[in-house]
Amino acid sequence: TAFVPALVVSGFPTDKFVFEGFLPHKKGRQTRLKLLAQEERTVVLYESPHRLLKCLEQINEFMGPDRQVCVCREISKFYEEHQRGTASALFKHFTDKPPKGEIVIVIEGLTK
């Protein structure tokens, strides 16, 4: 269960969160992201390395440029990595350094 250590290391609230698993690949993906954009709890997703950039781009589009995100990869393995920042900043990071391995995305909940 890689989402638990990812949630903890993200620094986002852990008292209330929603675990979505993998988002739909095509049908329903944008609809789901629009719903998650309104979520006040911390959101935890799984994503594949080849869809990470698309996911970060969509988080930026549907949740806004200031929403904080933590991308964790290869949890409990030698090349474990945690990157925090906005979806657009992380998009640039992973464009320059293509990701490999298992990925967990943790998204800060909507603040009112």
- How far is the C-alpha of 106 from the C-alpha of 109, rounded, in Å? 9
pLDDT, tens only, 35-80: 999 999 999 999 999 999 999 999 999 999 899 999 999 998 888 8
Burial of 21 (0-12, 13-18, 19+ CB in 10 A): exposed
> What is the per-residue pLDDT for 111?
87
> What is the per-residue pLDDT for 63?
96
Tokens of 83: 């990157």
> What is the per-residue pLDDT for 1?
78
What's the pTM value of the predicted model, to 2 decimals? 0.94
